[in-house]
């Protein structure tokens, strides 16, 4: 196994593990804290953790970043990947069931591929196309299985699509705005800017913060510092080495991982035939994307000849 494949596998399993823990903790936390307050507090904990690491790991390069020229890019990424994504997805939950929201968010790899192909930042390959198609269909089938149906809010679907589009663009633009920059310092700035957008919410509705108990505060700290901060760093590493399609597809596997874990410990419901087939299909789809990603060079720029145009993979 090549070093690249080994790193991608390690990063993938780490992201899935942290995603699953984060999902379970979040589910427990929002029972006592309003969702948007929980998201804001979690983001502040993530920001604090990243800046603490920067102080020890990247202090020497901190001052070397030309902030005046990079801040617009950081601001755009903070809105697309965090503020707008969270506001839209959780706003959609007001009128959608969680399964409906998850099905819409399952389109993120497909939207990413379409936007990347149209903007010529992603080339066509049968591995990419087949992998995205299979893993997206598997996620849709998995979350549709057992859904009670009923009327679906157009406004909720629209907000969910905004969230999916926002995150897809974030993944594509990360290549442009974070390339050749110190990773931790860049992410610390991006999350700080996003965290600041939650301050007005805290000022307007301070009651949930004042009622925060020690147990919930520890959950927020664990979610933000121990789960989210490493995931954001690992996501950028996977995006850099394996490409945006593979990085965005990993998130689709989190519900599979959570349900599998609950089933293994006997805490989940019995898996239907549709869910089992969808899980098998997801493995096939992500494997195709992994094979494609492990042969890529991420952000590396190749020259085919001295006179040829630069080509990004």
CA 125, 131, 137, 143 torsion-angle sign: negative
Decide if 256 contacts 282 (C-beta within 8 A).
yes
pLDDT for 77 equals: 95
Return the pLDDT at 312: 36
> pTM here?
0.82
Mention every residue, 6+ apart, whose C-beta is less than 8 A from residue 16. 250, 253, 254, 257
pLDDT at 193: 95
Contact (CB, 8 A) for 167 and 81: yes
pLDDT at 296: 53
What was the pLDDT predicted at 303? 34
Q: What pLDDT was estimated at residue 307? A: 40
Which residues of the chain fall short of a pLDDT of 50? 297-313
Q: Which helix (H) or strand (E) holds 301?
A: strand 301-302
> Which residues pair with residue 302 across a beta bridge?
311
Give residue 261's pLDDT: 65
- pLDDT score of 203: 94
Q: State the pLDDT at residue 95.
A: 80
């Amino acid at each position: 196994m090549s070093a690249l494949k080994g790193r991608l596998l390690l990063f993938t399993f780490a992201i899935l593990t942290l995603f699953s823990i984060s999902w379970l903790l979040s589910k427990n936390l929002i029972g006592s804290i309003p969702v948007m307050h929980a998201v804001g507090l979690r983001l502040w904990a993530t920001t604090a953790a990243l800046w603490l690491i920067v102080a020890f790991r990247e202090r020497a390069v901190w001052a070397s970043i030309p902030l005046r020229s990079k801040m617009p890019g950081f601001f755009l990424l903070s809105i697309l990947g965090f503020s707008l994504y969270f506001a839209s997805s959780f706003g959609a939950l007001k009128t959608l069931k969680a399964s409906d929201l998850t099905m819409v968010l399952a389109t993120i790899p497909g939207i990413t591929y379409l936007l990347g192909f149209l903007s010529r930042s992603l080339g066509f390959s049968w591995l990419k196309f087949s992998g995205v198609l299979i893993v997206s269909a598997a996620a849709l089938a998995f979350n549709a299985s057992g859904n009670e149906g009923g009327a679906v809010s157009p406004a909720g679907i629209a907000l969910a699509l905004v969230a999916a589009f926002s995150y897809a663009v974030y993944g594509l633009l990360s290549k442009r705005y974070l390339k050749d920059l110190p990773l931790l310092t860049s992410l610390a700035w991006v999350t700080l800017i996003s965290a600041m957008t939650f301050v007005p919410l805290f000022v307007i509705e301070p009651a949930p913060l004042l009622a925060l108990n020690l147990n919930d505060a520890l959950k927020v700290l664990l979610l933000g510092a121990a789960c989210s901060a490493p995931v954001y760093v690992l996501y950028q590493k996977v995006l850099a080495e394996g490409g945006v399609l593979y990085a965005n597809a990993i998130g689709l596997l989190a519900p599979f991982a959570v349900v599998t874990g609950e089933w293994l410990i006997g805490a989940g419901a019995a898996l239907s035939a549709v869910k089992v087939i969808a899980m098998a299909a997801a493995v096939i789809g992500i494997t195709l994307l992994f094979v494609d990603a492990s042969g890529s060079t991420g952000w590396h720029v190749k020259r085919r000849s001295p006179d040829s145009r630069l080509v990004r993979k």
